[in-house]
Amino acid sequence: MEHLINQRVQNLELSGIRRFFNMVAGTNDMISLTIGQPDFPTPNHIKNAGIQAIENNITTYTHNAGILDLRIAACHFVEKKYGIKYNPHHEVIVTIGASEAIDITFRTILTEGVEVILPGPVYPGYEPLIKMCGAVPVYADVRNNQFRFTADIIKKYLTDKTRCIVLPYPSNPTGVSLTKSELEEIANLVRNKDIFILADEIYSELVYGMNHHSISSFIREQTIVINGLSKSHSMTGWRIGLLFAPENITKHILKVHQYSVSCANSVAQIAALEALTVGYNDAISMKREYEKRREFVFKRFKEMGLHVIKPDGAFYFFVQIPKHIPLNSFDFALELVQKAKVAVVPGSAFSSFGEGYFRLSYAYSMDVLEEGLIRLEKFLKNF
């Protein structure tokens, strides 16, 4: 019966990130620096709120868009943090993680043959969703622009078929973010054009040495903001995402969300309410620790002579494989696993524009990072 499966689905491949993670899982003495999974537990007060929700039998369907108190808290959070204003009654949807928010956005705004501009390299979760809508992903090469997805890059790829620009910042895999002025230039470029901006801001609370700004503050009417609690509050498994957009957009996205999942998990929504209120600043202590790790890893890479751009946010380094090593990124990562017992993600997992690089996550303890980098250094010295 396999021949009857939707051809678009048959043509999809599993995420290169997960493929590599799964390949090394369970291997003895393996240092895995692959997954963007915070190594901090969900704060106790958030876990307790979830436990209390179960004990209070808050285990039924909620409003399709999410519990109103949570939507109010979410709108208050982004207004106070980033200065963007949304109506909690009509302009925010609580989703099953940021991934579902991205999926239902694409299924709402994309039609057959339209184009979506993405930075290359980029997180691999966008392309399959775009293709399943019959739309065309168009990669904008940002490698020679310090990985910055700026207006002067974007305008080279605009056509009369452009329907959406995906703006992920801070970026996975590069950790690069965008400044207020760079965002304003992008807004000016696309203002009054029939183009949506999907602003994936899931790492907005993990920005170093600068403030996070949302492009929604410049071009609200064309922007769909994706956020959530996975990275900011170490709640990846709770699966709570947040989608913000003007009412004339959300009212249509909500229909897709309703028929897909009805609503997000009720217990997780209560935990999320606790996170966005009592835990308003929970990310600060985690961010400080990530900054220490970032400084340490950056220093070690420089000592190894590796070419790397210091990230502005998230918890990744995107590292160029030394030119003298005659391996593509997958084979490099495979040999690193086999010979040094260190797992990183090959750059090719982030589109063809990631070839020649590897991604290392520093969402791991300092002890793990220290040992992993010692092994990496020894491995590199053997070439």
Q: Does 18 have pLDDT greater than 80?
A: no
* pLDDT the model gives residue 12: 77
List the domains of the chain with CATH numbers.
Answer: 2-42+282-381 (3.90.1150.10), 57-276 (3.40.640.10)
308's tokens:
């790397």
* Residues 357 and 319: beta-carbon distance below 8 Å: yes
Look at residues 312, 313, 314, 306 and name the one whose alpha carbon lies nearest to residue 358.
Answer: 306
- Whole-model pTM: value is 0.96
180, burial (CB in 10 Å: exposed 0-12, middle 13-18, buried 19+): middle
Q: If you average pLDDT over every residue of the chain, what do you get?
A: 96
What is the tens place of the pLDDT at every residue in 104-147? Answer: 999 999 999 999 999 999 999 999 999 999 999 999 999 999 99
Query: Virtual CA dihedral for 271, 275, 278, 279, nearest 10 degrees?
Result: 140
What is the tens place of the pLDDT at every residue in 154-185? Answer: 999 999 999 999 999 999 999 999 999 999 99
- Alpha helix ranges (H) inside the chain: 7-10, 16-24, 44-55, 68-82, 97-109, 126-132, 151-154, 180-190, 216-219, 247-261, 266-276, 283-303, 329-340, 366-381
The arithmetic mean of pLDDT across residues 67-90, rounded, is 98
Q: Does 16 have pLDDT greater than 70?
A: no
What is the tens place of the pLDDT at every residue in 227-243? Answer: 999 999 999 999 999 99
